Amino acid sequence: MGPTNSRSSIQTAVITASVTRFVYYVLDLLLQVTRNGLYCADGDFYVDPWLPVDRAVITHAHSDHACADSRAYLATRPGEALLRARVGGGATIQALEYGESVVLGGVRVSLHPAGHILGSAQVRIESGGEVWVVSGDYKLEPDPTCAAFEPVACDAFVTESTFGLPIYRWPPEAEVFAEIRSWWAANRQAGKASMLFAYSLGKAQRVLAGLNPADGRIYTHGAVENCCRMYREAGIALAPTTHVASAPATTDWSGALILAPPSANSSPWMRRFGPLSTGFVSGWMRIRGARRRRSLDRGFVLSDHADWPGLMSAVRASGASRVWVTHGYRAPVVEWLKQQGMDAQTIETRFEGEQDETGAEPGEGEP
Amino acid sequence: MKAFAELYAALDETTKTNEKVEALTRYFSRVPPADAAWAATFLIGRRPKRLLESRKLAQWAIEESGIPEWLFGECYHAVGDFAETIALLLPPAQSSSDLPLHCWIEERLLPLRDADDDARRASLVSAWREMDERQRFAWNKIITGEFRVGVSQSLVVRAVAAVNGLDAAVVSHRLMGDWQPTAAFWTQLVATDAGDADVSRPYPFFLAYPLEGAIEELGGVGEWQVEWKWDGIRAQLIRRSGRTFVWSRGEELMTDRFPELEALGAQLPEGTVVDGEVLPWKNGEPLPFAQMQRRIGRKVLGARILSEVPVVIVAYDLLELQGEDVRERPLEFRRARLEEIAPPDSALIVSPVVRPDTWEELTVRREEARARKVEGFMLKRLGSPYRVGRRRGDWWKWKIQPYSVDAVLIYAQPGNGRRASLFTDYTFGVWDGDKLVPFAKAYSGLTDEEIRQVDAFVRGNTIEKFGPVRAVKPELVFELAFEGIQRSPRHRSGIAVRFPRMARWRTDKKAEAADTIETIRALLPPGGAVTAD
């Protein structure tokens, strides 16, 4: 089970283990990077720990942010059901509305919309007049399936950097949906099925919310269907879908659109659909090489993460003077922020050394 | 430019050959002939002499994008494609250009040849501002070359042929040799009846596939003509209208590099085309290929190099006889005529034929290959025509087993194109005492899954970074295969190998068990060091 660290015992651990790469920090900061993840000693909790701990504050339910077996969780009300599905039905979860705060130890904690997926939050931590915000994953573009990102003023801002290079600049969402629809229409005309890969949790629902059910039949892979069910139960309107497994064996797939997780690509599961065209909805599709090495026909640039201009405007909007950069293109983002006169530094993620550039985005291995 | 950018996107968006050909044919049919000519030129990999240095292009793109140079570098490493990196970084497009492709090339690009840097910069930046993102990308591709859109020459040929229902072989032939991308050329290329008159024009080469199954599966040994497979420069020697032309397989006119062959041409009957291999040759045997490279690199061929490294053409086939295309005649006919026209004691050596009684005998004789300085055998079916391009069935190459060595991965760097952002380009070392000395670079041979695993290893086991290059913990062992081995003072190991690639990931071997430089030196051919300039 998770360690029960007070700040002083952590200090001891740090002194004895200061050679390990996972533990480095300045002692008087509100947050520290430990072997379990980001830790707030004053409140004795972790934010998105990657190992089980006593108390975990969770930004959202993707598997790289929500690890099972912690003793107690704090999450948003809209994200509670998704989190429960991730960490197990028996977990102890305390749910907060957006903006509602609780006091843990000596610090005040509240959760604010991050715009990433349903229930995603930025964690605001206030202690002794100082405010830190851990943004988790976020995007600034509007998304009908979740609450829009809200800038939260703070002294220190912890940001992701998945797409932290200026080549990542998202086209307007409406353009991308127009491309998806005309691709679907062309396939329908050619008598092909349209196999659209999208991460099961979050992306698939955003796509469904943007498609027109009048365009044709939409089927789902089981992993996608599970997440859709939870979204619908939360009252989010999605285009109607049919689970592939419950469609009759005689189904004519030509002209249909099938939503599946990227891990289904080239799997035997794909064989039943006959002639098809494949597409992938992801920010990685901004680069041709990322699409071509997956042998996909089409890439649609739509991401639930901030693009470069989005990252920079979120950092600016936070008003923070100190920025910690995690998960993604950390080094270039930090270097750029430093050149803009900010106090920026990288912090470790649980990913060994650096981001997984093979393109595995959270949610790929959904149930 | 609009239509061309759309074509590029359409080609890029499908992996299916038929769809690519359809997209090309649609494009060729709807654009002006001059546009079609330029597009075909670029797609088959020809291009005007490079007008702009990539370095300059990058500098102007950096200034236009308002980012620092180091950040451009980071972006390039993630994208792995220069033209694409620039297109992605330029400020968002405000307009889109309707100017046809040939106008962009002839009026905007080619005049930059005589312009100074300021004018070039102004012209480039203004071009970018007139284009949308797709057009910028296609434009940058035109400037930098390297289309990488999965279109081979044979696909372009199929598409051009489909425009007017021509035979692909006819189009393939018309695309050979020396021509300029003009409207007139295009009109002639797709014409159903064209006066094919160019005296220098070579024929498309017939290329062999590697033998796939057991040699016995080819049927009776008596149905085949067997020749040694030489390792030089594949070429066609053409004698027409009293003039001589030497074309390489890369369709480079190399006549002036080989005065011996120009002289030989004069000894051949009018209207002759010979297919063969140009080899450095002395005392009845080939010299190492490195000697040929000494010659090829030179602008001026002095008397010394000509006497040190003379060349011959080892003739494989006869394609034209007395001005008549004889490619459809049976192999035996072409071979007999070739032997008849070969001038005695000249720079033309008719490729010797091996006549085994059984496949077993041939298998044994294959062991002579290294001593004879050849790569193995060529097997040609008797009665077969001389075909176009790489085709299975009538010609097979049967190479000797490559050399192989177990080496340790010591450096890695990201690849390009579809391998961008993945560590796919590796340097391997072998033991020299207790140190690993870099020995060969290799890029190919691993499966996508293995590449992912090695990529993850590199990321987790980097010892040091030099720009994009990572020095990694010496732990992974690979079996490298290669075709030839020579001494080389230019390489740190003192050894250069030809066509190295990864044959196998030796997960069963520890780094300590990899080969040593001594074992590799033992593979070197006997004899003195190869001199380098």
Query: How far apart, in whole angstroms, are the C-alpha atoms of residue B295 and residue B297?
Result: 6
pLDDT of residue B175: 85
Instruction: Provide the annotated active-site residues of B.
Output: 229
A-B CB pairs within 8 A amount to 75
Last residue of a domain, one of A278, A300, A322: A300
pLDDT exceeds cutoff 60 at A6: no
Closest-CA distance, A333 to chain B, in angstroms, reads 9
Are A24 and A158 contained in the same domain? Answer: yes
Q: What is the pLDDT of residues B364-393, one digit of tens each?
A: 898 888 888 888 999 999 999 999 988 889
CB burial of A143-167 (b: ≥16 within 10 Å; e: otherwise) equals: bebbbebebbebbbbbbbbbbbbbb
Q: What is the pLDDT of residues B196-220, one digit of tens each?
A: 567 888 999 999 998 878 888 999 9
Query: How far apart, in whole angstroms, are the C-alpha atoms of residue B112 and residue B116?
Result: 8
Residue A115 lies in a domain: yes
Residue A366 lies in a domain: no
Under a CB-based contact definition with an 8 Å cutoff, are residues B185 and B179 in contact?
yes
Are A280 and A225 contained in the same domain? Answer: yes
Under a CB-based contact definition with an 8 Å cutoff, are residues B443 and B409 in contact?
no
Are A163 and A25 contained in the same domain? Answer: yes
List Cα–Cα distances, B337 to A108, B80, B238, B261, in angstroms: 96, 51, 15, 19
Residue A354 lies in a domain: no
Q: What is the pLDDT of residues B464-520, one digit of tens each?
A: 888 788 999 999 999 998 877 888 877 888 888 888 889 889 888 889 889 999 888
Query: How far apart, in whole angstroms, are the C-alpha atoms of residue A134 and residue A58?
Result: 10
Closest-CA distance, A40 to chain B, in angstroms, reads 28
pLDDT exceeds cutoff 90 at B531: no
Asked if B75 has any chain A CB less than 8 Å from its own CB, the reply is yes
Asked if B9 has any chain A CB less than 8 Å from its own CB, the reply is no
Residue A357 lies in a domain: no
Provide the pLDDT confidence category of residue B32 given band limits of 50, 70 and 90. Answer: very high
DSSP, res B418: G
**What residues does B498 pair with on adjacent strands?**
B484
Are A152 and A17 contained in the same domain? Answer: yes
pLDDT exceeds cutoff 70 at B24: yes
Q: Which domain holds residue A120?
A: 7-167+305-346
Are A157 and A18 contained in the same domain? Answer: yes
Under a CB-based contact definition with an 8 Å cutoff, are residues B342 and B272 in contact?
no
Picking from B26, B77, B79, B424 by the largest number of A CB atoms within 10 A of its own CB, the best residue to mutate is B79
Of B410, B404, B406, whose CA–CA distance to B423 is shortest?
Answer: B410
B267 contacts: CB under 8 Å, gap ≥ 6 = B343, B346, B348
pLDDT of residue B332: 97
Are A271 and A177 contained in the same domain? Answer: yes
Higher pLDDT, B532 or A80: A80
Are A178 and A36 contained in the same domain? Answer: no
Residue A218 lies in a domain: yes
- Asked if B459 and A353 come within 8 Å (Cβ–Cβ), the reply is yes
Average pLDDT over residues A302-307: 97
- Is pTM, for the whole model, over 0.80? no
Average pLDDT over residues A167-171: 96
Asked if B419 has any chain A CB less than 8 Å from its own CB, the reply is yes
Q: How many folded domains does chain A comprise?
A: 2
| CATH code where residue A55 lies | 3.60.15.10
Are A150 and A195 contained in the same domain? Answer: no
Are A238 and A296 contained in the same domain? Answer: yes
Asked if B6 has any chain A CB less than 8 Å from its own CB, the reply is no
Provide the pLDDT confidence category of residue B195 given band limits of 50, 70 and 90. Answer: low
Lowest-pLDDT choice from A345-354, B261-270, B517-526 = A345-354
Nearest CA in chain B to A165: B75
Window B:389-408, CB contacts with A under 8 Å: none
Under a CB-based contact definition with an 8 Å cutoff, are residues A209 and A180 in contact?
no
Picking from B75, B85, B453 by the largest number of A CB atoms within 10 A of its own CB, the best residue to mutate is B75
Residue A312 lies in a domain: yes
Rounded CA Rg of chain B: 26
Query: How far apart, in whole angstroms, are the C-alpha atoms of residue B113 and residue B110?
Result: 6
Beta strands at A55-57 and B395-399: parallel, antiparallel or unpaired:
unpaired
Query: How far apart, in whole angstroms, are the C-alpha atoms of residue A281 and residue A12?
Result: 47
Set of chain B residues whose Cβ sits within 8 Å of the Cβ of A280: none
Are A295 and A191 contained in the same domain? Answer: yes
- Asked if B418 and A293 come within 8 Å (Cβ–Cβ), the reply is yes
| CATH code where residue A222 lies | 3.40.50.10890
Of A317, A337, A289, A333, whose CA–CA distance to A115 is shortest?
Answer: A317
- Asked if B460 and A352 come within 8 Å (Cβ–Cβ), the reply is yes
pLDDT of residue B194: 61
pLDDT of residue B490: 76
**Displacement of CA A210 from its chain's centroid (Å):** 19
pLDDT of residue A351: 47
Torsion of CA B469, B472, B478, B483, to 10 degrees: 30
- Residue B70's identity, in one-letter code, is W
Lowest-pLDDT choice from A296-310, B35-49, B288-302 = B288-302
A275 contacts: CB under 8 Å, gap ≥ 6 = A190, A191, A192, A193, A254
Last residue of a domain, one of A277, A300, A323: A300
- Asked if B455 and A358 come within 8 Å (Cβ–Cβ), the reply is yes
Are A93 and A205 contained in the same domain? Answer: no
pLDDT exceeds cutoff 90 at B447: no
- How would you list the strands of the sheet with A37-40, edge to edge? A32-34, A37-40, A45-47, A55-57, A72-76, A93-96
Average pLDDT over residues B76-105: 93
Nearest by CB to residue B84, choosing from A288, A293, A332, is A288
Residue A353 lies in a domain: no
Query: How far apart, in whole angstroms, are the C-alpha atoms of residue B229 and residue B374?
Result: 6
Asked if B452 has any chain A CB less than 8 Å from its own CB, the reply is yes
Residue A260 lies in a domain: yes
Closest-CA distance, A222 to chain B, in angstroms, reads 25
Are A79 and A31 contained in the same domain? Answer: yes
Q: Which domains does chain B have, with CATH numbers?
A: 2-144 (1.10.3260.10), 206-399 (3.30.470.30), 403-521 (2.40.50.140)
DSSP, res A229: H
Asked if B425 has any chain A CB less than 8 Å from its own CB, the reply is no
Provide the pLDDT confidence category of residue B527 given band limits of 50, 70 and 90. Answer: low
- Asked if B78 and A295 come within 8 Å (Cβ–Cβ), the reply is no
Closest-CA distance, B161 to chain A, in angstroms, reads 24
